[in-house]
Amino acid sequence: MMKNPVACHSIRSKSVPFSLQATFGTGAIFLDDIKYTPCLDSNQLEPISLDSYILMSGTVTIFYGAVVTPVCPRTWKALPRCLIVVGRYGNINFMREHVEDHKLDEVLREHGYADHYVKRLQDGEFIIPGFVDTHTHAPQYPNLGKGGQYTLLQWLENVIFPKEAEFANTKFAKEVYHEVVRRSLAFGVR
């Protein structure tokens, strides 16, 4: 059993997320484009979306479908028929590669998961492992992605300090903190 918590992500879109554009430009390899070979050379992918119920449900969640997993920083492996059992605390309890659809129930029974719901990924969806950085500065949330043209001191003076002054308004502060909590939970932070 792996000890590290995991966030599972599914990608449904062919659009390239902003976080990947610096690495890939405006084109990237997505599931439709993958020829399932043991290892495909690529830069390490970053997670872009999260099904929040995965880690917040408090129950075992089972996934069956395509998984893309890093092997090392520049190589990843595509697993088209992978079975993953995520425990109630977000740990991977069990994972098996290359499970044929007709063998799925048998494998689940062998490992004591016969009566659990299985989330079957649709064509074009896949799971990638990811880690969530839970360190956050809530008052800086409204400034995400702003002020990149400034030096650190200019950024503080022109972006951060003026926005932080707005937190004197309790209504504004509550709205921002509500959004910070909502977004953190959506990424699996609990």
- Given a cut of 90, whether residue 12 has pLDDT beyond it is no
Query: What distance in Å separates the CA atoms of residue 8 and residue 53, rounded to the nearest whole number?
Result: 10
- Give 18's pLDDT tier (boundaries 50, 70, 90): very low
Q: Does residue 84 share a domain with residue 22?
A: yes
Q: Which of 5-14, 57-66, 172-181 is predicted with the least confidence, judged by mean pLDDT? A: 5-14
**Mean pLDDT of the 108-127 span:** 88
Residue 93, number of CB atoms within 10 A of its CB: 17
Q: Does residue 103 share a domain with residue 33?
A: yes
Q: Does residue 126 share a domain with residue 98?
A: yes
Residues of the chain with pLDDT > 90, as a percent, come to: 34
Q: Does residue 114 share a domain with residue 61?
A: yes
Q: Does residue 142 share a domain with residue 99?
A: no
Q: Does residue 64 share a domain with residue 120?
A: yes
**Mean pLDDT of the 185-190 span:** 67
Structure confidence at residue 190 (pLDDT)? 58
Is 1 among the domain residues? no
- Give 40's pLDDT tier (boundaries 50, 70, 90): very low
Domains held by the chain: number: 2
Residues of the chain with pLDDT > 70, as a percent, come to: 65
Structure confidence at residue 131 (pLDDT)? 63
**Which one of 130, 146, 170 terminates a domain?**
130
Give the domain extent around 178.
Answer: 138-186
Q: Does residue 43 share a domain with residue 13?
A: yes
Q: Does residue 102 share a domain with residue 181?
A: no
Residue 84, number of CB atoms within 10 A of its CB: 22
Q: If 0-12 CB within 10 Å is exposed, 13-18 middle and 19+ buried, where does residue 188 land?
A: buried
> Residues 132-162: pLDDT tens digits?
566 778 888 899 889 999 999 999 999 999 9
Q: Does residue 144 share a domain with residue 106?
A: no
- Given a cut of 90, whether residue 45 has pLDDT beyond it is no
**Which one of 86, 112, 130 terminates a domain?**
130
How far apart are the two ends of the chain, measured CA to CA in Å?
Answer: 21
